[in-house]
Amino acid sequence: MAELTVDRTYGNALFEAASELDRIEEVEEELKALSEIFDENPSMVSLLNDPTFSAAEKKEVVRKIFEGRIMPEMLNFLYILIDKGRTRHFQRIAREYQKLRNQEEGFVAGTIYSVQPLAAPQLAKLEEETEKLIGRKVKLENKLDPSLLGGVRILADGRLIDASLKKRLESLGSQMLM
């Protein structure tokens, strides 16, 4: 529970700072880029979370890697996370920031799982259909799920919409047993 508070506190603080600077979208893009970098480089994440390295050493590594490549405000935010020992929360803070951005724009974030990547027109159509079902605007992120036989599963606003072939087959099997 305390971790949720940390994520919200830092996510809110970052969002407020970005709002004051009128750089909400830029910060969002940099958070996404940094999230990808951290996902692709687990050794960097390990170093940032390693208590045997001092905050000064960690900040020097971050400075050498990111200075001039990310906005100074984002670099300072990383320094704060290092100083406070909160680097392990980075991904969740980024998700909290995204959630706040979506709320401000009137959107609910969701995930659509499919076997293959969806084309932009397909994604737009599914967002439109999901909006009708849940009664709110939806932004869907497409993630691949090789366990699906076909169709899609959508998770948005705490609801699961299962339009997968597997679910349809299970329903058909249940009906046949009746």
Nearest alpha-carbon partner for 145 in 175, 105, 115: 115
Mean confidence (pLDDT) of the chain: 89
pLDDT, tens only, 36-59? 999 999 999 999 999 999 999 999
Q: pTM of the prediction?
A: 0.70
> Residue for token digits 């599963």?
153
pLDDT given at position 166: 66
> Residue for token digits 């009128």?
22
**Sign of the alpha-carbon dihedral angle for 94, 95, 100, 103:** positive
Assess whether pLDDT exceeds 90 at residue 75. yes
pLDDT given at position 169: 64
Nearest alpha-carbon partner for 155 in 142, 171, 170: 142
> What is the Cα–Cα distance from 116 to 151, expressed in whole angstroms?
10
pLDDT given at position 168: 63
Q: Which helix (H) or strand (E) holds 71?
A: none
pLDDT, tens only, 25-38? 999 999 999 999 99
Assess whether pLDDT exceeds 60 at residue 1. no
Least confident segment among 1-5, 64-68, 85-89: 1-5
Longest CA span, the chain: 67
pLDDT given at position 164: 74
> What is the Cα–Cα distance from 130 to 139, expressed in whole angstroms?
9
pLDDT, tens only, 126-157? 899 988 888 888 889 899 988 887 888 888 88
Map residue 12 onto helix, strand or coil. helix
Q: What confidence tier does 117 reach under pLDDT thresholds 50, 70, 90?
A: very high
CB 77 within 8 A of CB 111: no
